[in-house]
Amino acid sequence: MAEQQTAPGHRTVQPVDPARRTEIDKQRVPMSARPYRLLALVKQDAVVRVQKEPDDTVMTWPHLLAIEFLAAVLVSVFILLMGLFVNAPLEDLANPNVTPEVAKAPWYFLGLQELLAYFHPTVAGALTPIFVLVGAALIPYVDRGNLLATRPSDRKTAVLLFTLFCGLGLVLTFIGIFFRGPGYAFALPWVTGMHFSL
Amino acid sequence: MSFLERVDQGIRQSAVWRSLFRNPYPNDERSRAYAVMNNVFLHLHPVRVRQHAVKFAYTFCLGGLSFFLFLVLTVTGVYLMFFYAPSANMAYTNILQIQTEVPFGLLTRNVHRWAAHLMVFFVFLHMMRVFYHGAYKPPREFNWVVGVVLLFLTIMLSFTGYLLPWDQIAYWAITIGTNMAGYAPLFNTPSKFILLGGLEVGQNTLLRFYVLHIMVFPLLAAIFLAVHFWRIRKDGGISGPL
Ligand code: HEM
């Protein structure tokens, strides 16, 4: 894309010290002799390619920006309403000497806390989270079967394993949230009430 | 011309306005392309995007909304910082003052809290969306890894913030959480000690979590977010269509 440059006429440009000019410099067209500036480099084959793929693109403005704006507004309204009508929890001042009926970790760690009830703490509290994070990071390097298959129906094993894993996490977290009462013993929420805060 | 129109024209023709926005409001395709290319915020996006990628049902806007919540949390968090001291003697009182004396303090704290939970939730959902679309496959492997780092940072941001109100929920939730880290093989005592700055949750822990929460993790997140967004474009835009 070319763009006219409006050079202010009165400004004088000092030539570069000849001692500092390299071979490449000598071949360059001086900026003042070039009424355009470089906006993009285009690969050779992009220029000579005759057959053009069908264009499946739309303008970012308005199509993408509109949907982003709408989504942001909806979420803003939601958190504003939440903020107006539901107060963030706050209990008594922290006191190391008063153990609460049940101490629960934040909800995203409750799956791990639930595992603590069944396994040795090293397994539940340390090895599992490390395994989950490292394992997740390795997924693209392990799932090398058919690199072109993206449709879930073409990669049933991967989808099944991942879904099972997510389901397991969800179930554990659910138990931790709803079915654990005083002393982190099993409890039914409709009998003993909820023991959970966000 | 009505009064409002004259004010509008006056503003748009002022030197200040025209120095801010070099071009008039873009109404045609060409000037909108320019706007997206030349505006520092808009140029996160390419000028054109593939059709399927702007469909709500492809991304569900989850990545974008996670980022939006990150921004909301930054703004509300900065406001809260003006009224909060990370001291075991002051923190709880400060929270009470924020709720009762600070203008919009209660609302700001509530919004900060709910936006934080929502962000963790959306990041999880975003990760699942990406998985089910097979969008971690080449050439996007590395951006998936960046994503995992972002997931870790998001959770740690939430976790470190959880302690700051210094109430019973905070104290015991963090005690449970850090106890787990205490069972890391080989590193058990050191890792717990480094996290807590002592043998149990106390003033040192509060200061540590505060610094991590308001400085270290947000900065790291900003860096990884920049890489994440850059890579989306360098990897050829949004994956798909399926
Ligand atoms: C703070 C957290 C995160 C933010 C703000 C974020 C933001 C985004 C955004 C805005 C996109 C564009 C498409 C979309 O909205 O879906 C995206 C794409 C992507 N994200 Fe994230 N992300 C985060 C965390 C993650 C996580 C946890 C993962 C995976 C472990 C991940 C992996 C990816 C990948 C692979 C893409 C490309 C997807 C495609 O091309 O379809 N991101 N991210």
Mean pLDDT, range B124-132, rounded to an integer: 97
Q: DSSP characters for A35-96?
A: SS-------HHHHH--SPPPP-EEEIIIIIHHHHHHHHHHHHHHHHHHHHHSPPP--SBP-T
Mean pLDDT of chain A: 86
Provide the terminal-to-terminal Cα distance of chain A, rounded to the nearest Å.
Answer: 54
pLDDT at position A4 is: 47
pLDDT at position A1 is: 42
Q: For helices B105-132 and A156-178, what crossing angle results, to 10°?
A: 150
Task: Tell me the residue type at B141.
Answer: E
Check if the beta carbon of residue B208 is closer than 8 Å to that of residue B198: no
The secondary structure element, H or E, covering residue B50 is strand B48-50
Confidence of residue A3 (pLDDT cuts 50, 70, 90): very low
Facing residue for A90 by CB, picked from B32, B141, B167: B167
pLDDT at position A2 is: 44
pLDDT in tens, B138-150: 999 999 999 999 9
Give whole-number Cα distances, A196 to A103, A176, A181, B120, in Å.
Answer: 9, 9, 9, 18
Mean pLDDT, range B201-222, rounded to an integer: 96
d(CA B80, CA B221): 20
d(CA B181, CA A122): 9
Check if the beta carbon of residue A168 is closer than 8 Å to that of residue A154: no
Mean pLDDT, range A106-110, rounded to an integer: 93
d(CA B157, CA B212): 8
Chain B CB contacts of A124 below 8 Å: 180, 183
CB–CB contact B26 A61 (8 Å): yes
Tell me: pLDDT of A5 over 60. Answer: no
Q: For helices B168-181 and B203-211, what crossing angle results, to 10°?
A: 80
pLDDT in tens, A26-69: 777 666 666 566 677 776 665 555 556 667 899 999 999 999 99
Check if the beta carbon of residue B123 is closer than 8 Å to that of residue B150: yes
The secondary structure element, H or E, covering residue B72 is helix B62-81
pLDDT at position B202 is: 93
Facing residue for B176 by CB, picked from A113, A139, A149: A113
Residue with tokens 């006429």: A9
Q: Distance of alpha carbon B191 from its chain centroid, rounded?
A: 26
- In order of their start, the domains of chain B are 1-48 (no CATH), 50-234 (1.20.810.10)
pLDDT at position A31 is: 61
d(CA B115, CA B121): 10
CB–CB contact A58 B65 (8 Å): no
* Ligand 1 environment, Cβ below 6 A: B 59, 62-64, 66-67, 70, 123, 126-127, 130, 133, 135-136, 140, 143-144, 147-148, 150-151, 154, 225, 228, 232, 238-239
Could you tell me how many residues make up chain B?
Answer: 242
pLDDT at position A21 is: 78
d(CA B152, CA B172): 21
CB–CB contact B64 A141 (8 Å): no
CB–CB contact A68 B99 (8 Å): no
pLDDT at position B1 is: 78
Count of CB pairs separated by less than 8 Å, A with B: 218
Strand stretches in chain A, DSSP E: 57-59
Chain A CB contacts of B48 below 8 Å: 57-60
Mean pLDDT, range B59-76, rounded to an integer: 97
| CA B128 to ligand 1 center in whole angstroms | 10
Sign of CA dihedral A14, A18, A23, A26: positive
Mean pLDDT of chain B: 93
pLDDT in tens, A127-167: 899 999 999 999 999 999 889 989 999 999 999 999 999 99
d(CA A22, CA A16): 11
Question: What are the structure tokens assigned to A60, written together?
Answer: 């970012």
pLDDT in tens, B17-44: 999 988 888 999 999 999 999 899 999 9
Residue A187 carries which DSSP code? -
Question: What are the structure tokens assigned to B229, written together?
Answer: 């967004």
Chain A closest-CA separation from residue B137 CA (Å): 6
Tell me: pLDDT of A121 over 70. Answer: yes
Q: For helices B168-181 and B141-163, what crossing angle results, to 10°?
A: 130
d(CA B237, CA B231): 8
> Which class for B159: exposed (0-12), middle (13-18), buried (19 or more C-beta within 10 A)?
buried
Chain A CB contacts of B171 below 8 Å: 94-96
